[in-house]
Structure 1
Amino acid sequence: MKTYYVYILKCNDGLTYTGVTNNISRRFKEHQKGLNQSCFTFKRRPLQLVFHQEFNDINQAIYFEKKIKNWSAKKKLALADKNFDMLQILAECRNATHSKYNLENE
């Protein structure tokens, strides 16, 4: 059975990158080495692998990757930190000015 991974990289500038692969260590090394100059992460190295989730079905992996790609960096990092309380708060409202929570102090 083949294993697939959805992963989140934290870039040097604080932005995040989300991807899917069948070989997490190889793919992370490719990002770190900067093999593709047009890649989002090329000018944002060094990178940190902050999250990965295993899947046995490529379709489930792609579905999850597409889902979290649209999340804010704060929400992705909350997932990576296993901060499920903050993840729920961020899921309730993406715009802190319209939320009952003050996220600017985070």
Structure 2
Amino acid sequence: MFWVYILRCADGSYYTGHTDNLEARIGLHQSGECDGYTSKRLPVQLAWSQECTTREEALSAEMQIKGWSRRKKEAMMRGDWPEVSRLAHANSKVRSS
């Protein structure tokens, strides 16, 4: 079992990652043992997670979510799929202009 997850950092920013052990990874982030982005923005808390069947699926979801706007991530975390879709269509119209 694998997971894609989003952490809310102390500064209000989001960090997206994937793992095969969600509890252990969150603990590493919270303790500052994951060098990089989250270690400078403690404490962190789990804002959202989704189970994935394979590591490839989890990594693909992570990469996709990392490319999203803050508003789109927040809509997904709320489960507001119509808003996620609206934001996706709005973004594609901006890119094609």
Q: Given the two structures, how large is their TM-score scaled by the length of structure 1?
A: 0.78
In structure 2, distance between residues paired with 1:28 and 1:59: 20
User: If each structure's helix is expressed as a fraction of its own residues, which one has the higher value?
Assistant: 2
**In structure 2, which of residues 49, 65, 84 is the aligned counterpart of residue 52 of structure 1?**
49
**In structure 1, which of residues 19, 23, 31 is the aligned counterpart of residue 21 of structure 2?**
23
Q: Which runs of 4+ in 1 moved over 6 A?
A: none
Q: Deviations over 1:47-104 (max 9, x none)?
A: 121111111211111111111111112211211111223212221224xxx6xxxxxx
Structure 2 match to 1:13: 11
Larger radius of gyration: 1
Letter of the 2:71 partner, please give it: K
Structure 2 match to 1:101: none
**In structure 1, which of residues 32, 35, 42 is the aligned counterpart of residue 33 of structure 2?**
35
- Over aligned residues, Cα RMSD in angstroms? 1.7
Q: Which runs of 5+ in 1 are unaligned?
A: 99-106
Structure 2 match to 1:87: 84
- Is 1:71 aligned with 2:78? no
In structure 2, distance between residues paired with 1:32 and 1:70: 24
Q: Which runs of 5+ in 2 are unaligned?
A: none
Aligned residues: percent identity?
Answer: 38
Q: Given the two structures, how large is their TM-score scaled by the length of structure 2?
A: 0.84
